[in-house]
Chains A and B, each alone.
Chain A
Amino acid sequence: MPELQTPQTAGKTIWIIVAAVIGAAVIAALIWWQFAQAPEAPVPPAAAPEVEAPAPPPAPPAVAPEEDTTTSIQQDLETVDLGDLEQEFKQIDADAGEL
């Protein structure tokens, strides 16, 4: 025959449930904290500064030493001059005019 719960045993059960809930919360917080700390701890010091995350890092100086920014390329292209062909023919035209 099952025991009837007295008010004392019912109070104990409530406390046990409350303790279990608090314990579960502490465990969850502990697990969360461990995961959050994980990226920093095990990485060797030499490797750490090079790559912070698997994404393109801020890069040191470029491989090609020459200036190859689009601004400088476009500036150079603006300086390209084919010259004035008509001006080049002036002397020839002057001589031919004397014939």
Chain B
Amino acid sequence: MRKYILSFALLFVLAALYAGAARAQVGEQLRETRQEFKQFRQAEVQEFKQRLEQLKAANQTKREEFKATVEQNRSELRTRVQTEREQLKEKLAAIKDERKKQIVERVAQQLNELNERQTNHLVQVLDKLDAALGRVGTRTDKAEANGRDISSVRTAISAANEAITASRAAISVQAGKSYTIAVTDEAGLRKVVGDARQTLHNDLSETRKAVKTAHDAVKKAATTLAQIPQVDELKVEPSATE
């Protein structure tokens, strides 16, 4: 009987020792896992912030380059418009009706002013779209950092970026255009003024169409992003070192 009791006591002590050792080991493993996880999260946050900064810088550069191009086109345009105005005056010298001459000159000026006003407005619209797409990108990065599937959003963002680039090119070209009225004789004034008006209208419609396409593409990217469950609640922790 004593032999059994001693064996049982020995077994009990061994089991207790084993449980203590196992507990310490599990604790150590858990600490290591937590440490690794923390480091992984910090690296992810750092990467996310770097990507965000790079994206912002790239967008800023693109915007500045685009505005510089538009401004350069306008600068060249002003010289050209001035020359064309002088040429128009020479052609209008043959027209006897002073009122009609003034109307033609005024319309010629209005056409170029309207073009400048419209392209300025479209540049502002494009800036807004670009900013909105940047925010879609930021939110997408957060979703990605939280392990969500964002492939369809990335595709939509890429398409929107292409549409914005195409719009920029269209606006840049449009901003460099001038509109002249090809005066021949007094009888044909109405027609040539109408032709110039229609040319500007067609050109602006095409440019606006490109911007509208970009608008739709950005909206689609935002809608695709919104379909990710609880995407607005996802966040990225700032790292502990900052």
Q: Is the pair B121, A83 in contact by a Cβ cutoff of 8 Å?
A: yes
Query: Is B138 close to A, CB under 8 A?
Result: yes
Complex CA–CA separation, A79 to B135 (angstroms): 16
A30 proximity list for chain B (CB < 8 A): 15-16, 19
Contact status A64-B128, CB under 8 Å: no
Query: Which among B12, B15, B197, B212 is the interface contact of A93 at CB below 8 angstroms?
Result: B197
Q: Establish whether residues A35 and B22, one from each chain, have CB atoms under 8 Å apart when the complex forms.
A: yes
Contact partner of B37 (CB less than 8 A), chosen from A26, A35, A51, A88, is A51
Q: Which of B20, B135, B215 contacts A34 (CB 8 A)?
A: B20
Chain A residues positioned under 8 Å from B121 (CB to CB): 82-83
Most buried by A among B23, B48, B194, B208: B23
Bound Cα distance A47, B33 (Å): 12
Q: Which residues of B contact A31 (CB under 8 A)?
A: 15, 18-19, 22
Q: How far is the CA of A8 from the CA of B156 in the complex (A)?
A: 86
| In the complex, residue of chain B having the shortest beta-carbon distance to the beta carbon of A55 | B37
What residues on A are CB-neighbors of B31 within 8 Å? 42-44, 47
User: What 1/0 mask marks residues of chain A from 44 to 55 whose CB sits below 8 Å from any chain B CB?
Assistant: 100100110010
A92 contacts the other chain (CB 8 A): yes
- Chain A interface residue count, CB cutoff 8 Å, equals 55
How many A-B Cβ pairs are below 8 Å?
173
Complex Cα spacing A68 to B205, Å: 32
Which of A73, A85, A98 interacts with B204 by CB under 8 Å?
A85
Contact B190 A96 (CB under 8 A): yes
Q: Which of B129-179 contact A (CB under 8 A)?
A: 129, 132, 135-136, 138-139, 142, 146-147
Chain B's closest residue to A82 (CB) is: B208
| Selected contact of A64 from candidates B30, B138, B194, B225, CB within 8 Å | B138
Q: Assess the B12–A23 pair: CB atoms within 8 A.
A: yes
Q: Are A63 and B226 in contact (CB under 8 A)?
A: no
C-alpha gap A89/B125 in the complex (Å) = 20
Asked if residues A91 and B219 are in contact (CB atoms below 8 Å), the reply is no
Within 8 A of A (CB), among B1-53: 1, 4, 8, 11-12, 15-16, 18-20, 22-24, 26-28, 30-31, 33-35, 37-38, 45, 48-49, 52
Q: Which residues of B contact A (CB under 8 A)?
A: 1, 4, 8, 11-12, 15-16, 18-20, 22-24, 26-28, 30-31, 33-35, 37-38, 45, 48-49, 52, 99-100, 103-104, 106-107, 110-111, 114, 117-118, 121-122, 125, 128-129, 132, 135-136, 138-139, 142, 146-147, 189-190, 193-194, 197, 201, 204-205, 208, 211-212, 215, 218-219, 222-223, 225-226, 231-232, 235-238
Binding site for B on A (CB under 8 A): 12, 16, 19-20, 23, 26-27, 30-31, 34-35, 37-39, 41-44, 47, 50-51, 54, 56-57, 59-64, 66-74, 76-77, 80-83, 85, 88-89, 91-93, 95-96, 98-99
**Known pairs A19-B8, A76-B132, A99-B190 / 17 extra A-B pairs, C-beta < 8 Å:** A27-B11, A31-B19, A31-B22, A34-B22, A39-B26, A39-B27, A42-B31, A43-B31, A57-B237, A60-B237, A64-B52, A64-B138, A70-B222, A80-B215, A92-B107, A96-B193, A96-B197
